[in-house]
Structure 1
Amino acid sequence: MGANQSAVYARNEANELFTPQKSGQVLTFHSSSKWRSHFQSSRQTNKLMVIHFTAAWCGPCRTMEPVIRDFAAKYVGVEFIQIDVDELEAVAREYAVQALPAFILIKKGKTVDKVAGAEKAALQNKIEKCMFYF
């Protein structure tokens, strides 16, 4: 998104503003303030959020990118977020990210599970478990 373009917003049933997410889309944040705003608004929903912590120099992270896009297309009720640890270091520290790739699963603002490493099957199992049980 260019600097001169503005975000497109819509309203949900509760008349709250949000950025529409297409099926299969992975949201990427490059600003701590935009991340915090999005996170605060997501706390009001029961939607599972999967945060993929990544870095441009991380080979296993790049390997997981198409997996995450596939999961985003498959699990349309789940919100997938990508955060580069070099861009948003404070956010990575907040979630105690120590290895990459790291996946934090959040529901109603609380961490419900984690996966460290390029573990596709483990991540898929945890997504399916957390979608319904938390």
Structure 2
Amino acid sequence: MPNKTGNKTGQVLKSASSGADGLFMPNKTGQVLIFRSSSKWKSHFQSSKQTNKLMVIHFTAAWCGPCRTMEPIIRDFAAKYVAVEFIQIDVDELEAVAREYAVQALPAFILIKKGKAVDKVVGADKAALQKKIEIYMA
């Protein structure tokens, strides 16, 4: 039976003004933040530097098949690794952010701690990404 949002997955997406603020946030169990606004991203990134929490940025694009393959895996990781912050950024929407992290192939995953990139995974490699998350989340 569909929940009040009409989906059957149990994942509730909230969006103020239908995404006009540039940020979509699923419920607390398995959070993936999707940034569509450069200013919202910059603000969030600045505040994240104050924590020791691992941030995993999933660089993606609507036209990228392997990126879409990784989306449910990232949602599963977000549910499993609740102490890790998962971010999704579309390279076509936030090109400057993709350039800043030298993203040249998709999907790309940049692991960040205290505002510094500590590692990356390029390609739809679930096992490699999981291994690096487990290394850096401590």
- Whole-Å separation in 2 of the counterparts to 1:91 and 1:64: 20
Amino acid at match of 1:3: S
With the length of structure 2 as denominator, give the TM-score of the two structures: 0.83
Deviating beyond 4 angstroms after TM superposition, the runs of 4 or more aligned structure 1 residues are: 4-7
Does the residue aligned with 2:17 lie in a helix, a strand or coil?
A: coil
Spell out the pairing of 1:1-134 with structure 2 (5 A cutoff).
Answer: 1-3=15-17, 22-132=28-138
- Whole-Å separation in 2 of the counterparts to 1:76 and 1:82: 16
CA shift, 1:23, in A, is 2.2
Instruction: Give a deviation string over 1:26-64, Cα, whole Å, max 9, x none.
Output: 000000000000000000000000000000000000000
Q: What is the aligned-residue RMSD (CA, Å)?
A: 2.0
Instruction: Give a deviation string over 1:3-25, Cα, whole Å, max 9, x none.
Output: 28998xxxxxxxxxxx9971202
- Whole-Å separation in 1 of the counterparts to 2:29 and 2:134: 17
How many residues in Structure 1 have an aligned counterpart in Structure 2? 121
8 Å contact from structure 2 (residues 109, 121) kept in 1: yes
8 Å contact from structure 2 (residues 26, 33) kept in 1: no
Over the matched positions of the two proteins, sequence identity in percent amounts to 81
Unpaired runs of 5+ in structure 2? Answer: 1-14
Unpaired runs of 5+ in structure 1? Answer: 8-18
Does the residue aligned with 2:135 lie in a helix, a strand or coil?
A: helix
Instruction: Give a deviation string over 1:73-92, Cα, whole Å, max 9, x none.
Output: 00000000000000000000
Does the residue aligned with 1:115 lie in a helix, a strand or coil?
A: strand
Does the residue aligned with 2:50 lie in a helix, a strand or coil?
A: coil
- Whole-Å separation in 1 of the counterparts to 2:93 and 2:56: 18
Amino acid at match of 1:81: I
